Structure 1
Amino acid sequence: MGAVSPFRRDLVVVGASAGGVEALRAVVSALPSDFPGALVVTMHLSAGSPSALALILDRAGPLPARSARHGAPIEPGTVYVAPPDRHLLTDDGVLVLSQGPTENGHRPAINATFRSAAVTGGPNVIGVVLSGVLDDGAAGLRAIVDRGGLAVVQDPGDALYSGMPMNALSLVETEHVVRAGEIGALLDKLVRMPVEPVEVPPASDILLLEDRIARDGVRAGAFPPAEQNGSGYTCPDCQGGLTEVDPMGRYRCRIGHAWSAQALLAAHDDEFRFALQKALRALDEKAGLARKLAAQLSARRPGGLAERYAASAKEAAEAADTLRRFLLEASEPAEEQTTAP
């Protein structure tokens, strides 16, 4: 039997979120015009608006950048960008756009792109995690490494938002932790480097299942019903029961919405704040109506009922002031922008 020829890692999948436009521009601007690999880029985008990210990256460096099209061949020397409201996946040398369930509240989701590359590309893949909050991309990067690929992570100290790089490094050990401005040169070196074939473990059942869900949606019986194997948590997207899909603390509901523990906590925190804001509005309206009734009754028949309305207005106003102070003290600047660049 003849020796198997070395191969090259020519598929680069890149994930970014908050602060990611600047990092992506730095990466793309440092790539040479004869870069022999393809870049598949997923950045969290708002579903309701068009994105100029492909145009921004096209102008940033010598490689052409374009919005990904379903079924388009993956060609070297090209940057492909996930469009809003579609997961960007790979399959046998072509791009796949999917409306599979959201992951961590996002579509496109970085984990979906990384998992598909791990399944279809195996050791030919380099995964890159850039600036962003929370942990989308961490589990997908782990899948890439488990299938023989390489991991590159932006130095958390260089990222505008260090959450995604730090969470990726908590799951994946890699020597390739560099500043965004150095990633382009590193990728050019890694893509050109011949790699001796290695034995790659088969994709796990859960990896294949989650990749299929991103492509096709969840089918009946994909996960045990939440009442049989439930986590006790609720999906923020559809309020269905969540099933824990692996010990890393990742969950899916019957619809297929996926959540990491961090993203789930953040989503429930948003729900909590929204509930408090509704309560504050109700208290303000109650105080205003009670004052109006107290004033109307005082003009006609002072005392008694008018005093009770005045007391109710004071009580509601004091409760509203307390709640307002709590919300102001607890509020922090939004960490992640989901509007399309």
Structure 2
Amino acid sequence: MNKNRSSMLIVIGASAGGMDALKKLVTQLPQNFPAPVFIVTHMSADATGDVLVKALNESSHLTCVHAQDKQAFKNGNIYLAPSDQHMLIVKGKILVTKGARENRSRPAIDPLFRSAAVAYGNRVIGIILTGYLDDGTSGMMAIKRCGGVCIAQDPEEASYPDMPKSVIANVGADYCLPIAEMGSVLSDLLSRDLPENKPAPEDIMIEAKIAQRVLSDLPAVQALGEQVPYNCPDCGGVLWQMTEGKLLRYRCHTGHAFTSSALLAQQTVKIEETLWVALRMFEERQNLLVTMSKNESKQSSSSISQRAKDSQVHIDRIRAMLKATDKDSHGEGAR
């Protein structure tokens, strides 16, 4: 056997609509598939992922399991990132970490792709499937810069085409395919001879270390970009801007990372949360003023009643802003 084939691996990212897409993909992989397969799909923190593991085991000739920290991986197995944890790859084993969210997600696609690119370089085949926004784009850039292969689902057949569209626009896919054609392409790619790997670019290695929680400090993010006048919506820390081609990305020194689209979506969520708090406080204030007016003299009561009416003006404005924010949230593909 070609010595390079046994050291290759497949990394897959999916989000909304991902279960059906993943089932269609894994059913094409033969029982003796000569590479391990690693999957990140966005899920809520309280989900177990058991339903997806069961579905993939029923659809595939391969064995699908939840990834475990420091687990050695083997060809012909599928490893699914556990809920609320990132899955990373180092030489010969998996790391499962509770690192900071990236693109509002944990597990996130970018940390998996980036770590695989650092560890295995041109032996990595990345696949991006259906999903909202653009998680996976930066990670796919890392795979390409390290000599790996980029495969994107044809957006025309994706249930939610944002993620494959972003990869195609910002990275340039080596293959843009319907899922039904991916199995044969993978078999062909795994049979090819490959040149020797070259060291990963320094910025990719820094971000891979941040995801491992080995490195998360000011010098690290300062080496990646320039500080900007925005704050991290997750922790309140300052952000540094990184530019990768046309893709704008942001990091704080604690490890949170966002594309510009993900940052905008998360800012919208935080604005909505703030508006709901403000609405509650104005309504409580109005209720208190109404109660006070009933117990005051006629002159004082008139003044207090006017203040209550002024509060209603603010309440109406906030409700209008909440309606606009709700529309904006849906426009950003909020998960």
Q: TM-score range by the shorter chain?
A: 0.7 to 0.9
Q: Deviations over 1:97-145 (max 9, x none)?
A: 2233322232222111001111111111110111222221101111111
Q: CA RMSD in A?
A: 2.5
Between the two proteins, what is the percent identity of the paired residues?
Answer: 33
Contact 1:153 1:169 in 2 (8 A): yes
Contact 1:17 1:336 in 2 (8 A): no
Give yes or no for the alignment of 1:168 onto 2:167.
yes
The equivalent position to 1:34 in structure 2, one of 25, 32, 35, is: 32
| 1:245 Cα deviation from its structure 2 partner | 4.1
Distance 1:326 1:235, change over 3 A: closer
- Match of 1:264? 263
Give yes or no for the alignment of 1:61 onto 2:56.
no
Aligned residues: 326
- Match of 2:200? 203
- Match of 1:109? 108
Question: How far, CA to CA, are the matches of 2:12 and 2:26 in structure 1?
Answer: 11
The equivalent position to 2:10 in structure 1, one of 9, 12, 16, is: 12
Q: Secondary structure at the match of 1:158?
A: coil
**Superposed counterparts of 1:300-311, under 5 Å:** 301=297, 303-311=298-306
Give 1:280's aligned amino acid: L
Question: How far, CA to CA, are the matches of 2:53 and 2:219 in structure 1?
Answer: 35
| 1:224 Cα deviation from its structure 2 partner | 5.9
- Match of 2:320? 325
Distance 1:329 1:212, change over 3 A: closer
Question: How far, CA to CA, are the matches of 2:15 and 2:318 in structure 1?
Answer: 32
Q: Secondary structure at the match of 1:325?
A: helix
Contact 2:221 2:251 in 1 (8 A): no
Q: Which segment is superposed worse, 119-128 or 209-218?
A: 209-218
Give 1:313's aligned amino acid: A
Contact 1:26 1:180 in 2 (8 A): yes
Q: Deviations over 1:220-257 (max 9, x none)?
A: 5532669x952122112221112234454222222222
Q: Which segment is superposed worse, 287-296 or 127-136?
A: 287-296
Contact 2:221 2:252 in 1 (8 A): no
Q: Structure 1 regions of 5+ residues with no counterpart? A: none
Question: How far, CA to CA, are the matches of 1:313 and 1:255 in structure 2?
Answer: 43
| 1:258 Cα deviation from its structure 2 partner | 1.9
Give yes or no for the alignment of 1:242 onto 2:244.
no
Question: How far, CA to CA, are the matches of 2:154 and 2:270 in structure 1?
Answer: 32
Question: How far, CA to CA, are the matches of 2:59 and 2:215 in structure 1?
Answer: 38
Q: Which segment is superposed worse, 254-263 or 28-37?
A: 28-37
Question: How far, CA to CA, are the matches of 2:163 and 2:169 in structure 1?
Answer: 10
Q: Secondary structure at the match of 2:125?
A: strand
| 1:67 Cα deviation from its structure 2 partner | 0.4
Distance 1:217 1:266, change over 3 A: farther
Give 1:19's aligned amino acid: G
Q: Structure 2 regions of 5+ residues with no counterpart? A: none
